[in-house]
Structure 1
């Protein structure tokens, strides 16, 4: 017996134990902690035998397992056991396939698939709770995201058009899907945790959906003196998460240039998180229900962002060619006031294409980030809550100092 064969059998047995332990806790009469390892080993052995004997043996093994599961269900029904569904049966069939996958494809793929399966099985209650919480509007949001990503995106041409050749319909819409997808993830988290989210989680969810919208909502709430501290922490947390969004966008658009562009942005994000942590530890830990969030997958919103992104792409390319770095930074300052995504994606895209230096790209993104902090501070100041304004001014002021230091000192 070769080392590869032993390793495949050992991994299959371990994965079977893991799945069996999860099913045993559900007290399913069909299969548990002993049966699942045997099913995994059965799949692996069938795949190993298929090499000298042919692939038909895997098909026969799967058919035999299916027959056993059918007989087990018939016996269970005769005893009057309630019908809990077919989750265990499907898990058993999939585990057999994973056992074969360890041999036919590779061990890593089988382990990842088994890990996903055990997580899905274990999260029965949260998943059912989420499904129960999904209403008509939420399904509308999900279906609109399907429209954006699976219907519109595949049919768009993947070629460069327009001034400076920066308009690629497929890549442009792909970025729309990316931004909407991140926001939709926050919206899903809001639907799951919205009424139970604490201060930090509320800020995280708000930052995923829209840090500017979160600032507007909590600035209004912070007008009440007893909620000013909580509102400041949520606003700071959402701003910290928004910088995390920026890092993800850079990684997607310019993976090769990511280390050079992302390093100073990551330091600014770290400084923002540090300031947020200080405010959180110093303040009260009262909680406030998150305000209602809008569907981030609305087609109108996606089209508006796509149009804004297209305009910023041209503005950045034009400014760089005609006005130099100073013109680009002016565009970043103006664009960043209300939206950081467009300038981040456009700068990273041009850097990936070699039309923009990495150092220029990160400076443009950082300037946009500082402009966005300024805009959010003006929103807070407009509420005229002295306590909230002082808190946000102190937090954003420290972050702005960190950003200015990076602009001056970072090479």
Structure 2
């Protein structure tokens, strides 16, 4: 690793740390105004130094491993001490800031170690900032979720994440069931010409089920976040890129539960437009 590369990575660490710190500082300032937080607790300078420390520590890993362990262990002790002290003073057991500190340190370390590509590290930093900045939105969304809605999300997770990955992505034909072919032949059905034609593929069939239910779930979530019409429109376009047919089936099912079907017809059109766009891309 040459000097230019080292300086570039250290500078990137400072920038990412400053971005995270800016979000935390604005949040801490809002708490200070409400007399709920510790004035000037953590901010741009602190997080910049944290990510910079992580990068330096990552660079030291290849040359001074014992020093790397010492710095990392000391940092962890400081974070735990900060959490215990802050919890005692503010009577708040939340760990968002402390986890952000650890995550920022890891981001800096990843930069120093060249563990991930720069694009992935920047994406992780953006996700971190996004999650922290949307605290009130996330809380509001969670409080509006009812038990049956949570059960629906769990059911979809089982469909898409538990069952689907384990189904064989293999085409089956009549040739895979010779006993069935013999039975059909005994009844005078000429099946030799179609014996190798694909009959079904378990993975693809269940994928359609996952898409149909996925459009329902995505549409429901977006409906609660950005509104009824926009939510279904965006969900339909996303579903159209995967399967416009399955998306249209899902919209048809939803239209039966609604007093008006105009919105779902428009959403189905958007789904098919998205499918055409995918073909040209």
1:239 aligns with 2:268: yes
Shift of 1:95: 0.9
- Superposition map of 1:242-261 within 5 A: 242-243=271-272, 246=275
> Relative to structure 1, is the Cα distance of residues 170 and 202 closer, same or farther in structure 2, using a 3 angstrom cutoff?
closer
> Relative to structure 1, is the Cα distance of residues 152 and 140 closer, same or farther in structure 2, using a 3 angstrom cutoff?
same
What CA RMSD, in Å, does the superposition of the two structures yield over aligned residues?
2.8
The residue that corresponds to 1:149 in the other structure is: 160
- Superposition map of 1:216-227 within 5 A: 220-221=259-260
- Aligned partners of 2:206, 2:254: CA distance in 1, in Å? 25
Considering Cα pairs closer than 8 Å and 6+ residues apart, tell me whether 1 or 2 has the greater RCO: 1
Partner SS for 2:172: coil
The residue that corresponds to 2:99 in the other structure is: 90
> Relative to structure 1, is the Cα distance of residues 95 and 188 closer, same or farther in structure 2, using a 3 angstrom cutoff?
same
CA deviation vs aligned residue, 1:285-312 (integer Å, no higher than 9, x gap):
xxxxxxxxxxxxxxxxxxxxxxxxxxxx
Task: Point out where structure 2 has 5 or more consecutive residues left out of the alignment.
Answer: 29-36, 175-196, 240-246
CA deviation vs aligned residue, 1:29-74 (integer Å, no higher than 9, x gap):
44222111111001111011112223x5444333222211222234
Shift of 1:86: 0.5
1:68 aligns with 2:72: no
> Relative to structure 1, is the Cα distance of residues 97 and 166 closer, same or farther in structure 2, using a 3 angstrom cutoff?
farther
TM-score by length of 1: 0.51
- Aligned partners of 1:76, 1:190: CA distance in 2, in Å? 38
- Superposition map of 1:275-354 within 5 A: none
Task: Point out where structure 1 has 5 or more consecutive residues left out of the alignment.
Answer: 222-230, 252-261, 267-411
The residue that corresponds to 2:109 in the other structure is: 100
The residue that corresponds to 1:160 in the other structure is: 171
CA deviation vs aligned residue, 1:80-107 (integer Å, no higher than 9, x gap):
3231500000111011111111233221
Question: In the alignment, is the contact (CA less than 8 A) between 1:47 and 1:57 conserved in 2?
Answer: no
Aligned length: 235
Shift of 1:216: 5.2
TM-score by length of 2: 0.72
Shift of 1:239: 3.0
The residue that corresponds to 1:133 in the other structure is: 144
Shift of 1:120: 0.7
One of 197, 200, 211 as aligned partner of 1:178: 211
